[in-house]
């Protein structure tokens, strides 16, 4: 292991980071070693990663000092923050700054920051098409990440900014799978009209990140976007119908209706989908499927993702 380049993976126990850890471990001759960072080294997920061959190291994004220690000796660092744990964009920016400063102090050679757009660049707070949230954001879980892009350049660390996409896995883990409507039919509900939603199997985010580390200098200083396929709500429903052998319809709602669903974060997600709908050409164009497949030839299409994971989608 000592002659291998270490990649320290923030969120190593999470959906994005664990995909990267597994990609590194699988490529035994690749010259890289995986160091998974977690606050809970004794959790089942952390133990499973250690058993699979990862080094598991304690670190907390709220503590720059813990990150410095965890990044020591690493060649690369993957950074993701988890908005949904605290719903605070400001906290995500502060956590990203801790990671950027720690990466600088540890003389890391390549950072990948898992980011999203600052939607306020296209929808300023004065634009009333969607409400302003938390006083100064339109899509807090996007805007904080986009705002944090600059903390990596400010810190002077060699960075690739990785624009990720909606995970199809949200149908399994995030309550976004088909639900029975009043007519008893299974439906997926989105406020994206007939526009395309760039999306990806979350395991492919980690595989793409690994390819970016392997290709080294090529992507340092660049912002790149990834997706596995770009489909409309109707196409997503049709794919489910075929895979599940049960009819699933597309329930198109307005962003206003979506924001009003009342679950935590419904307003943020309603604004997010409206942004994706209203700036669809830009948003899809920033996440070329062809480019993503050139990074990761194993990239799953939607149908391939369904074939692999359809049995995990909870159905009523
Ligand atoms: N769902 C989507 O479609 C989608 C698409 C694009 C981007 N995203 C973004 O992805 C992010 C979540 O990533 P994910 O899905 O990989 O997360 P996840 O599966 O929910 O796991 C969260 C990870 O973050 C780690 N973590 C959280 N707070 C931490 C802290 N203070 N210090 C150290 N580690 C911490 C957790 O580690 P431990 O608990 O083990 O410490 C865990 O590994 C969100 O910010 C979301 O906006 C989501």
* Distance of CA 10 from the midpoint of ligand 1 (Å): 9
Q: Mean pLDDT across the stretch 243-247?
A: 97
Model confidence at 162: pLDDT above 70: yes
* Distance of CA 71 from the midpoint of ligand 1 (Å): 18
82 lines ligand 1 (CB under 6 A): yes
* Distance of CA 15 from the midpoint of ligand 1 (Å): 7
Question: Best substitution site from 39, 48, 82 to test ligand 1's pocket, by max atoms within 8 Å of Cβ?
Answer: 82
- Give me the chain's average pLDDT, please: 97
**259-277 confidence digits (pLDDT tens):** 999 999 999 999 999 999 9
Structure tokens that stand for 217 in this block: 């200098």
Atom of ligand 1 nearest to the CA of 46: 40
For ligand 1, atom 48, name the residue with the nearest CA. Answer: 166
Query: Among candidates 166, 174, 176, 170, which has minimal Cα distance to 251?
Result: 176
- Angle formed at CA 169 by CA 92 and CA 201, multiple of 5 degrees: 90
Global pTM reads 0.98
174 lines ligand 1 (CB under 6 A): yes
**pLDDT on residue 40:** 98
For ligand 1, atom 44, name the residue with the nearest CA. Answer: 82
110: Cα separation from own chain's centroid = 19
60 lines ligand 1 (CB under 6 A): yes
Q: Mean pLDDT across the stretch 154-180?
A: 97
d(CA 69, CA 192): 44
**183-233 confidence digits (pLDDT tens):** 999 999 999 999 999 999 999 999 999 999 999 899 999 999 999 999 999
100 lines ligand 1 (CB under 6 A): no
Structure tokens that stand for 178 in this block: 């088909």
Q: How many residues does the chain have?
A: 316
Query: Among candidates 249, 266, 243, which has minimal Cα distance to 182?
Result: 249
**pLDDT on residue 2:** 66
175 lines ligand 1 (CB under 6 A): no
- Asked if residue 211 lies in contact with residue 24, where contact means CB atoms within 8 angstroms, the answer is no
Structure tokens that stand for 150 in this block: 């600059």
Reduced to 3 states (helix: H, G, I; strand: E, B; else coil), residue 265 is coil
* Distance of CA 80 from the midpoint of ligand 1 (Å): 6
166 lines ligand 1 (CB under 6 A): yes
- Asked if residue 140 lies in contact with residue 87, where contact means CB atoms within 8 angstroms, the answer is yes
9 lines ligand 1 (CB under 6 A): no
Model confidence at 1: pLDDT above 60: no
> What confidence category does residue 4 fall into, taking pLDDT thresholds of 50, 70 and 90?
very high
Tell me phi and psi for residue 118, to 5 degrees. Answer: -85, 100
Structure tokens that stand for 114 in this block: 């898992």
**17-68 confidence digits (pLDDT tens):** 999 999 999 999 999 999 999 999 999 999 999 999 999 999 999 999 999 9
Structure tokens that stand for 225 in this block: 């976007």
* Distance of CA 81 from the midpoint of ligand 1 (Å): 5
Structure tokens that stand for 107 in this block: 């003389």
């Amino acid at each position: 292991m000592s002659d291998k380049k270490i990649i320290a993976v923030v969120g190593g126990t999470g959906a994005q980071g664990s995909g990267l850890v597994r990609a590194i471990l699988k490529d035994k001759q690749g010259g890289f070693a995986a160091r998974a960072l977690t606050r809970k080294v004794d959790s089942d997920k952390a133990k499973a990663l250690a058993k699979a061959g990862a080094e598991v190291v304690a670190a907390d994004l709220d503590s720059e000092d813990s990150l410095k220690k965890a990044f020591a000796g690493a060649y690369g660092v993957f950074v993701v923050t988890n908005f949904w744990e605290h719903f605070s964009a400001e906290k995500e920016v502060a956590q990203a700054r801790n990671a950027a400063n720690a990466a600088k102090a540890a003389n890391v050679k390549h950072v990948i920051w898992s980011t999203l757009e600052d939607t306020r660049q296209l929808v300023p707070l004065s634009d009333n098409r969607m409400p302003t949230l938390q006083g100064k954001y339109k899509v807090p879980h996007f805007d904080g990440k986009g705002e944090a892009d600059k903390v990596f350049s400010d810190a002077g660390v060699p960075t690739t900014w990785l624009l990720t996409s909606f995970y199809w896995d949200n149908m399994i883990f995030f309550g976004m799978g088909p639900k029975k409507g009043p007519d008893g039919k299974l439906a997926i509900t989105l406020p994206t009209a007939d526009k395309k939603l760039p999306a990806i199997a979350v395991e492919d985010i980690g595989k793409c990140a690994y390819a970016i580390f392997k290709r080294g200098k090529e992507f340092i200083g660049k912002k790149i976007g990834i997706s596995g396929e770009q489909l409309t709500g109707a196409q997503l429903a049709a794919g489910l119908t075929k895979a599940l052998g049960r009819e699933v319809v597309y329930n198109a709602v307005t962003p206003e209706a979506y924001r009003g669903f009342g679950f935590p974060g419904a307003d943020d997600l309603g604004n997010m989908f409206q942004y994706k709908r209203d700036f669809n050409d830009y948003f899809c164009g920033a996440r070329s499927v062809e480019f993503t497949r050139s990074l990761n030839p194993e990239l799953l299409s939607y149908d391939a993702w369904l074939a692999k994971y359809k049995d995990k989608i909870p159905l009523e």
